[in-house]
Structure 1
Amino acid sequence: MSIRLTLPAPAKLNLMLHILGRRADGYHELQTLFQFLEHGDELSFALRSDGQICLHGKLSDVPHDSNLIVKAARQLQHASACPLGADIWLDKRLPMGGGLGGGSSDAATTLLGLNHLWQLDWDEDRLAALGLGLGADVPVFVRGHAAFAEGVGEKLTAVELEEPWFLVAIPQVLVSTAEVFSDPELTRDTPANKLRSLLEGGGRNDCQPVVQKRYVEVDNALILLNKFVPARLTGTGACVFGSFPNQDDADKVARQLPATLPCFVAQGRNISMLHRKLRELAGK
């Protein structure tokens, strides 16, 4: 039996998200701060010699060939002219449509994992460029460092942030990113800010008022979490979060949330757990 390579696919938070305007191609110019969480999905990879990409443990409502994991594997296979294939197992822990970047993170872990497994020796720049074609959030996961992002999210500047503990609540609703970004009430004219001022002032999430209005589950979660700590939406949601100086404080609040609002506690990290694992494998 082939040896499996098992790697994490970490969640991310958007600590702020400002929308500066809409481009001619329909995409939005934005500014955001990404930080990783010590929590996420897990993927395992094993070599196949027949060139086939086979995803196991796939999501029931996502066709095999439409899954970003399969798309990422096939794009890397094609771009590198690699004759090898892979069996891939997904242990899905992050909610879909939660704003935690699960699909993008899975795709990035696939690119980095198969780059290692197939011994392609591609660098991060090349993998990030390939990942951008899969989704605007994929490059930040490929690079694995907390970042200030501009453009549609692809222009990344690495940043060093405090690493607090976060309580992330998961309202039981699937938020449509497309609907949020097409909402006429979405703020699209926030002035561009310098990175330093955002690090000092914290910023806000311009998507939050629209999501709160459209999804009562998210609104209720924010109201509840705000009783304990300043709460904010990540990305276009549905997940909401608050930060704490230590795990004990976050755990105490988590225990007070109702069972109808699932949650988890995880530390924010500037270097993703995926990249720490890959460095360990490389002996660095």
Structure 2
Amino acid sequence: MPSPAKLNLFLHITGRRSDGYHELQTAFQLLDFGDSVEIDTRSDNKIVLLESLEGVPDEDNIVIRAAKLLQKQQTDKNALLGANIKINKQIPMGGGLGGGSSNAASTLLGLNYLWKMGLSKEQLAEIGLSLGADVPVFIYGQNSFGEGIGERLQPLVLPKYWFTVIKPPVSVPTAEIFSHSQLTRDTVTIRIAAVFKHLQTADLAKALRNDCEAIVRREYPEISEALDWLNGLGTARLTGTGACIFARFASKAEAEAVLAAMPASYTGFIAQGTDRSTAHQALEMIKERP
């Protein structure tokens, strides 16, 4: 199963809830670049991760947690099915590209089919939300305007632009940024019609920004330097809380030229925006097989 990356084309923080979570508005852009999740069913009830991720105990891996939550929904408790799962990583970890959330969503989608459970997207999204706020957007598999903590989604039609995505040699803990005392938390809300209008041009509108960027720039000079460099070639944005940054271009050639000019200390890739998740496209092809 493909497991696509996402970008936050903007991220406005509009408030903070009593439980500590932040109210936000964002545009989720799915990419044609990502990881893949290989799944084979088992006749016993074991959920096995074939290759562990460095620094992440298997029992804490979001993919294992997703599979076990879905397994609890199986109706025949005396004959629970299991699975062998392997994650082939391409998405930079800790970059704000949604890799873990996407892996969890692809696992839920794949096992829902392989275990013949027949759960709806809404049911899978509810399970996914208990794992992370970004999981539902990958379950629904379309570009979206997100509100709440990112889980209230409305479909958003976006042009298929090209993106150069760059990761400076640093990682950013999300919790550190969202707990920062100087983080902007009172941005005025914007309507989806205005978001749609602003996102139609390759040059991201100045009316849309990432409220985390000022704090990230201050705390992580490597990212600030990367943003300044990329701003010389396009309109640079932070995705999520970073560490990845991106710029949007009208053509593949423009995106490739920027990647080719990237300083050697950075890693990166180019990708095209897609209107439907590559995971959903692959699942539909599998279902159509005789």
TM-score bin (small chain)? over 0.9
SS of equivalent residue, structure 2 residue 105: helix
In 2: Cα distance, 1:199 partner to 1:240 partner: 21
| Residues 1:208 and 2:213 are matched in the alignment | yes
Structure 2 equivalent of residue 281 of structure 1: 286
In 1: Cα distance, 2:92 partner to 2:126 partner: 26
* Structure 1 segment 1-284 matched on structure 2, within 5 A: 7-81=1-75, 83-201=80-198, 202=205, 203-283=208-288
Q: 1:15 is matched by which residue type in structure 2?
A: L
State the 1:81 CA deviation: 4.0
State the 1:258 CA deviation: 1.4
State the 1:97 CA deviation: 1.0
Q: 2:31 is matched by which residue type in structure 1?
A: L
Deviations 1:154-200 (A, max 9, x none): 10001111110000001111101001000011100001111111222
State the 1:243 CA deviation: 0.7
Deviations 1:199-255 (A, max 9, x none): 223411101111111111111110111111010000111000001111111101110
Percent of pairs with identical residues: 48
State the 1:94 CA deviation: 1.1
Gaps of 5+ in 1: 1-6
SS of equivalent residue, structure 2 residue 168: coil
In 1: Cα distance, 2:267 partner to 2:245 partner: 11
Q: How many residues align?
A: 278
Report the TM-score, using the length of structure 1 for normalisation. Answer: 0.96
Q: 2:37–2:86: 8 Å Cα contact kept in structure 1?
A: yes
Report the TM-score, using the length of structure 2 for normalisation. Answer: 0.94
In 2: Cα distance, 1:141 partner to 1:217 partner: 30
Gaps of 5+ in 2: 199-204
SS of equivalent residue, structure 1 residue 79: coil
In 1: Cα distance, 2:90 partner to 2:52 partner: 12
Q: 1:254 is matched by which residue type in structure 2?
A: L
SS of equivalent residue, structure 1 residue 175: coil
In 2: Cα distance, 1:44 partner to 1:51 partner: 18
Q: Which sits farther off after the overlay, 54-63 or 195-204?
A: 195-204
